[in-house]
Structure 1
Amino acid sequence: MAIKVMGIHHHAVRIDAGGHGLDAFQAFYSDVLGLKHDSGRPNVPSIPGLWINVGNVGQIHLMGGEFPSPLAKVPGEDPVDVHVALAVEDVAAAKAELERLGVHFWSLVGVAGPQTEQLFVRDPAGNMIELHQYDKCRCAAANREQ
């Protein structure tokens, strides 16, 4: 049975190019695009960045710092790499389905929030996709109040 995806929640991009500071990115997304940042972004040591709110259903995650990051487990498994994040109905069921199908994935626990597990897979072209529990992500406006 396929994983039940509830929605697209964020697109993560790297912001190291050009030596610009976070203030330049915050000004661009706010002053040019009219978007505000999520002040509730957790502090991730050695991963500077901003989460930019896009309406009520998503965000753009701007991520800086060294690449590969200290969160990289092995080459090619770095959550700070460019990716798209999809919210799934049940992350434990998604993990079981990936295992059943023999799809290579890796997980990260506790970085996006306490007891939050993120699963990472790559599509056939090598694009990284994050899967996370739909009600545990600050990407949806309803969850930003928590």
Structure 2
Amino acid sequence: MAIKVLEIHHHGIRIDAGEKTIEDLKNFYTGVLGLEHDTGRPDIPGIPGMWINIGEVGQIHLIGGDLPSRFAQGPDKDPTLPHVALAVENIVETKAELDRLGADYWSLKGATGPDAEQLFLKDPCGNMVELHQYDKCRCRLKSRVKAA
């Protein structure tokens, strides 16, 4: 049984840019690209950043801070590294399927909310992919409006 991915939710980008500031990035993404800053991003101690809305479904998550982050679970197992996040229909079924397949993944619980679980794995080229429960994040416009 294949995992049921419903949509792309965000693309996580590292923003450790030396002298560049969060304000510089905000000016680029909102002023140059005309995108909207999601002011509802929770404060994540030690992980500066910003979420940028893209239409009704999707965001860019700009992620900074020291590496490894406090959420790292080993070398190359850090959710603040570049990644693409996909929403799945059922995170419990997804985890069971990954186990059945013998996939190498790791789990992070509670980082973005008390009932949120994120699963991270790498594709065959080493790109990190995050899987999380559909409708449990601010990536969708209806979730941002509901949470505001």
- Asked whether the two chains share a fold, i.e. TM above 0.5, the reply is yes
Partner-residue secondary structure (3-state), 2:24: helix
What one-letter code is carried by the residue in structure 1 that aligns with 2:98? Answer: L
Q: Normalising by the residue count of structure 2, what TM-score does the alignment of the two structures yield?
A: 0.96
For 1:79, the equivalent position in structure 2 comes to: 79
Partner-residue secondary structure (3-state), 2:50: strand
- The separation in 2 between residues aligned to 1:121 and 1:144, in whole angstroms, is 27
Shift of 1:137: 1.3
Structure 1 stretches (4+) deviating beyond 3 angstroms? none
1:120-143 CA distance string (max 9 Å, x none): 010011100000011101101011
- The separation in 2 between residues aligned to 1:113 and 1:141, in whole angstroms, is 18
Q: How many residues align?
A: 146
For 2:12, the equivalent position in structure 1 comes to: 12
Shift of 1:19: 2.5
- The separation in 2 between residues aligned to 1:134 and 1:23, in whole angstroms, is 30
- Across the aligned residues of Structure 1 and Structure 2, the Cα RMSD in angstroms comes to 0.8
For 2:61, the equivalent position in structure 1 comes to: 61
Gap runs ≥5 in structure 2: none
Percent of aligned pairs with the same amino acid: 60
Query: Where does 1:32-111 land on structure 2 (aligned, <5 Å)?
Result: 32-111=32-111
Q: Normalising by the residue count of structure 1, what TM-score does the alignment of the two structures yield?
A: 0.97
- The separation in 2 between residues aligned to 1:37 and 1:137, in whole angstroms, is 15
- The separation in 2 between residues aligned to 1:70 and 1:110, in whole angstroms, is 13
